[in-house]
Amino acid sequence: MGSNTKTANPRESLKSTWVTDRSQWTLNHRVIHFFNAYPLPPGTRPPVYAKTDPVPYFVEGRSHVWVLLHASMPLLLHQVILSITGARSLPPPAVVALYFFGFNWSVVRQIRAAARLGLEIGYLDGDVHARDGVPDVGVAQVVASLWKMTGSRMIAAVLLSYDGTSPATTLASPRWWARLWLQVGLYSIVLDFWFYVYHRAMHDVPALWHFHRTHHLTKQPNALLSAYADHAQEAIDMVCVPLAAWLTFRLAGMPLGFYEWWVCHQYVTFTEVLGHSGLRAYGTPPSTLTWALRLVGAELSIEDHDLHHRTGWRSSHNYGKQTRLWDRVFGTCHDRVECGEGNVDWTKGVHYSYTLAWR
């Protein structure tokens, strides 16, 4: 695997040889291997297509099922623990731990599902470049980025929104579900506004580019590189942007409770991983408001963020990571190459497999 990014700094190399050279392996390499979190299964070759070949589309309803299924598991376990122990609520540290592990489980499951699907449908720009692997110099950073992303978001969610109410009590309310439907759609749009502002500033303000360039070393990203970045960018991506979105909802009189925020996190993270997967499909985020965004050409597809990495460096486009709404508003949309409307095969729908297979 190789990228078309050239760098003279060995610490920025994207060379990836560790998969077949176990002499390099440390605990972090073994973590990826144990969880089978390879973005491309070793010893496999995905199909390659010309850019004019039709692309399948992601079945949005199946993506909703995927997100809600994985989001429900920690909620169910939370309620089971309360029922068995007779406790009225779990202490905050236990809630952080429970949802932290549930969060990591869902992300790793998606990485594995994306890898399996990639072997069926191939990857964008595959006729020119293979997908980048996890770089030899970045394995520890990649593994740590997953723990930091899930951990920081769960700590913030518990500190700001957990009030001890049980999942059963909250989810039993039809009004809660109606409000959640709207919050899921609005959250991705609001969060994407704050992300757009910070992301575009990272590209346009010379003094800030230093903090973002590591993430752009990959021109053909994969799902495991979604959070591969410098510490400053990690802090903004993982904590500051979600906090800005949470605060916006609070100031607007629509505060996010812990369980609503948990579900919103699952939708947003699903899109972040999907957007870095490079899968050759017209895949849109399973937001409850994607239909409205599509009416004005502001729905995101996998190719949009892929092109941001592939054809952008300091000067770029497609800054949104959940929608194209703010790119439309501020004139920074880029035309799609393989996933334009006329190149989508609407008779061929694809989706992540629900299999629980470990390997």
Residue 17 lies in a domain: no
Render 199-250 in DSSP notation, one character per residue.
HHHHHHSHHHHTTTGGGGG-SS--GGGTT---HHHHHIIIIIHHHHHHHHHH
Residue 40 lies in a domain: no
Of 142, 148, 240, 255, nearest to 194 by C-alpha is 240
CB burial string 48-80: b at 16+ within 10 A, e below: ebeeeeebbbbbbebbbebbeebbeebbeebee
Residue 56: enclosing H or E segment and its boundaries?
Answer: strand 55-58
Q: Which amino acid is at 72?
A: S
Residue 184 lies in a domain: yes
Q: Please tell me whether residue 282 adopts helix, strand or coil conformation.
A: strand
Residue 359 lies in a domain: no
Residue 36 lies in a domain: no
Residue 357 lies in a domain: no
Total domains present in the chain? 1
The neighbouring-strand residues paired with 55 are 344
pLDDT per residue, tens digit, the chain (359 aa), is 444 444 557 667 889 999 999 999 999 999 999 999 999 999 999 999 999 999 999 999 999 999 999 999 999 999 999 999 999 999 999 999 999 999 999 999 999 999 999 999 999 999 999 999 999 999 999 999 999 999 999 999 999 999 999 999 999 999 999 999 999 999 999 999 999 999 999 999 999 998 998 899 999 999 999 988 888 888 899 999 999 999 999 999 999 999 999 999 999 999 999 999 999 999 999 999 999 999 999 999 999 999 999 987 778 899 999 999 999 999 999 999 999 989 999 999 999 998 765 55
- Residue 211 near residue 205, CB atoms below 8 Å: no
From first CA to last CA, the distance across the chain in angstroms is: 21
Q: Is the dihedral of CA 116, 192, 226, 142 positive or negative?
A: negative
Q: In the structure encoding, which two tokens stand for residue 275, read together?
A: 């957007």
Contacts of 329 (CB under 8 A, 6+ apart): none
Distance separating alpha carbons of residues 210 and 205, to the nearest angstrom: 10
Residue 27 lies in a domain: no
Distance of alpha carbon 11 from the chain centroid: 25
Where in the sequence is the domain holding 108, given as residue range(s)? 46-350
Residue 25 lies in a domain: no
Q: In the structure encoding, which two tokens stand for residue 191, read together?
A: 């969060």
